[in-house]
Amino acid sequence: MKESQEAFVARRSKDWDALRDLLAHEKALHRMGAQAIATAGNLYRNTASDLMQARANGFTPDLVHALDQLAARAHSGLYSAPPYRLRAIAELLLFDFPATLRRHTRAFWIATALFVLPALLGFSTAFISRHAAMQILPEQMVESAEKMYSDGFDGRDEGTDASMAGFYIRNNVGIAFQCFATGILLGIGSIFYLVYNGLTIGTFAGLVTASGYGINLLTFVSGHGAFELTAIVIAGAAGIVMGYSLVATKGLTRMGSLQASARDIAQLVMGAALMLVAAAFIEGFWSPSGIPMRVKWIVSALLWLFVIVYLSFAGKARRRLRAKAST
Amino acid sequence: MAAGQEEPLDNTTWVETPEQVRFRYHVAGPTRRYLAYLIDLVIRGLAFLIISILVGVATGGGTNVSGLGTGMLLVLIFGMEWGYYVLFETLWNGRTPGKRALGLRVVKEGGYPLSFMDSVLRTLLRAADGLPPAFGFLPTYASGVLTAAVDKRFRRLGDRVASTMVVIEEPVRVAAAIVIDPAPTRAELDLLPARPPLSADEIEALDLFLRRNTLSEARRHELAAIVSPSFARRMGTTARDPLRFLEVLYVRIREQTVRKRDEGAPRTGAAA
């Protein structure tokens, strides 16, 4: 037995209007109290069944479309994503990020090689021939940098430190993100950025060393480098994982394979970004300070040790806890 | 747009919910999404301008902005570049001010709201979708548009990695019933069979045609003349005035559903 469309609309439109009104301030739907949420839920379910009925009875497309839209909007209002708490960032840093990285050691070492080998090549090239190095780096940049490192560091004013820290956050995290994102092109973008960054950094270091100020540069870089260089390599590794998931699909479709690796990728890039923020503060405030070289070296050694231990071991305790809980 | 009857079928996608309800989402096309991007770009630019003036006044005054102010500004640019989308898409359940202005929303492919990590992923991939940059820094999104163009649901690279899509979400009102003027007489109606032999699709097409009042009268007649003879033949009559014939036919069909109406079993609405 079929109800006419007119009668159907007349009977049901009161509920639709009520639902529409609730959705008008939909942003606060979850703050409107249990009563309102229950009402919205009821109205949504009834609207959904109205939609089925309208479709089954061959009611006019405008009605079906309007109900479609209403049900869809109520659906996105009612089902909201699990909230992301600050705790999740702590968990990411303490457990998930290092654990995920250890699941992708192969990509990590490939990325390291793609970064370190060009760096060594650039370094030796610059050491042997300044002329050759100038083909890689712009001369002006080299001269101003050489002047900076020849002077050594005896502390700057805090304002400059803060502005440089800001610059490093924007610049380096941006580079890391780009290094990662271009990995979508079957990994080629990430490989390019790793090699490119390795080559320029290596060449630069070679030039400064050849002019006899290598020790100043090493003192400057070694502290934040523990975080910064590692993070750039990790971002590149994440890009390689992403690109490789498009190549080796393990029986999934290419899209499916990409999406299956998405979680790991996101954790790696988020972890790398947080490491880069830490690096920016060290680079802005600690590295250029006038603290004696020996102290800086000791601190740098400790920072490297910390990064290595952190990436190798953090998060293992939780897996043991979980294993215990499940047995 | 009063009702979505002009929507071509190829930009809709079906979503099935846990309640076993299937509804359609209208996937947003390039123009809307690009406009939303431009709006967000302008908002970010203006916000940055205003805050940088404030920081300048508060810290150094005049043109001599202090180092701390510069540092904060650089962090702010970073936030505008990468944090803006994640912040709004997370807080506003898949919308940014630009998307909101154009009635767009990012949802998961299953129609669910996107999570924080999904938003992070699709924002990070902007570095690839935004290529190549104009003037060295302004993303043109050429590769995003290109990759989206070859996808059924118009997903750019970031959408594919995060399994999200951008849908159009506009409140649509139920359109008013079609009024035929002058109303068909009883005699006119009785010339047609009580149950006109039309399929559901044909009835739908008829409805869409009669609602489309943007066409000129001549064009309406022209279109009606194409289909009327075939309908009329099926019913063993002839359509002297093709347009009038379709109008009367429509009323006849509606009249038939009214007559069959089930008046028992009224359903109660939702608890208020």
pLDDT digits (tens, 9 = 90+) for B71-107: 777 788 888 888 899 999 988 888 899 999 998 999 8
* C-alpha distances in Å from residue B117, one per residue of A125, B88, B104, B181: 42, 13, 20, 57
- Of the residues A54, A78, A102, the one at which a domain ends: A78
Domain match, B215 and B152 both: no
Q: Which amino acid is at A257?
A: S
Give start and end residues of each alpha helix (H) in A57-157: 61-78, 86-91, 97-103, 105-128, 130-133, 139-151
A2 domain residue, yes or no: no
Residue B1's pLDDT is what? Answer: 35
Chain A's closest residue to B89, CA to CA, is: A81
Domain match, B33 and B121 both: yes
Domain match, A67 and A176 both: no
Domain match, A140 and A66 both: no
pTM for this structure? 0.73
- Of the residues B100, B134, B168, the one at which a domain ends: B168
Domain of residue B206 covers 186-257
A183 domain residue, yes or no: yes
- Of the residues A78, A98, A117, the one at which a domain ends: A78
For chains A and B, CB pairs below 8 A equal 225
State how many domains chain B has.
Answer: 2
Q: Is B1 near chain A, with CB under 8 Å?
A: no
Chain B's closest residue to A263, CA to CA, is: B117
Domain of residue A53 covers 8-78
SS3 B168: strand
For B117-167, how does the pLDDT look when each residue is reduced to its tens digit (9 = 90+)?
889 899 989 988 888 888 777 888 998 999 888 888 889 999 998 989 999
Contacts of residue A160, Cβ cutoff 8 Å, sequence gap at least 6: B67
- Of the residues B168, B196, B231, the one at which a domain ends: B168
Residue A234's pLDDT is what? Answer: 95
Q: Check A69 against B111: CB less than 8 A apart.
A: no
Residue B268 in this model has a pLDDT that exceeds 70: no
Domain match, A276 and A303 both: yes
Domain match, A50 and A118 both: no
Domain match, A50 and A102 both: no
For A74-90, how does the pLDDT look when each residue is reduced to its tens digit (9 = 90+)?
887 777 666 667 788 88
Chain B's closest residue to A2, CA to CA, is: B261
B270 contact residues in A (CB cutoff 8 A):
15, 18, 39, 42-43, 45-46
Domain match, A159 and A194 both: yes
Contacts of residue B139, Cβ cutoff 8 Å, sequence gap at least 6: B126, B129, B130, B131, B133
State how many domains chain A has.
Answer: 2
Domain match, A69 and A113 both: no
Domain match, A159 and A248 both: yes
- Of the residues B138, B168, B198, the one at which a domain ends: B168
Domain match, A188 and A214 both: yes
Domain match, B9 and B120 both: yes
Domain match, A174 and A303 both: yes
Q: Is A303 near chain B, with CB under 8 Å?
A: no
For A118-163, how does the pLDDT look when each residue is reduced to its tens digit (9 = 90+)?
999 999 998 888 888 887 777 777 777 777 777 666 656 666 777 7
Domain match, B51 and B98 both: yes
A19 domain residue, yes or no: yes
A263 domain residue, yes or no: yes
Nearest to B21 among A48, A242, A259 (CB): A48
Residue B269's pLDDT is what? Answer: 39
Domain match, A160 and A288 both: yes
Contacts of residue B34, Cβ cutoff 8 Å, sequence gap at least 6: B141, B145
Predicted confidence band of residue B195 (pLDDT cuts 50, 70, 90)? confident
Residue B262's pLDDT is what? Answer: 42
Domain match, B234 and B99 both: no
Domain match, B121 and B220 both: no
Domain match, A34 and A150 both: no
Domain match, B79 and B156 both: yes
Nearest to A75 among B17, B78, B117 (CB): B17
- Test the A interface: residue of B25, B26, B74, B96 with most A CBs within 10 Å: B74
B173 domain residue, yes or no: no
Q: Check A73 against B167: CB less than 8 A apart.
A: no
Residue B176's pLDDT is what? Answer: 67
Strands B104-108 and B133-134: unpaired
A160 domain residue, yes or no: yes
Residue B240 in this model has a pLDDT that exceeds 70: yes
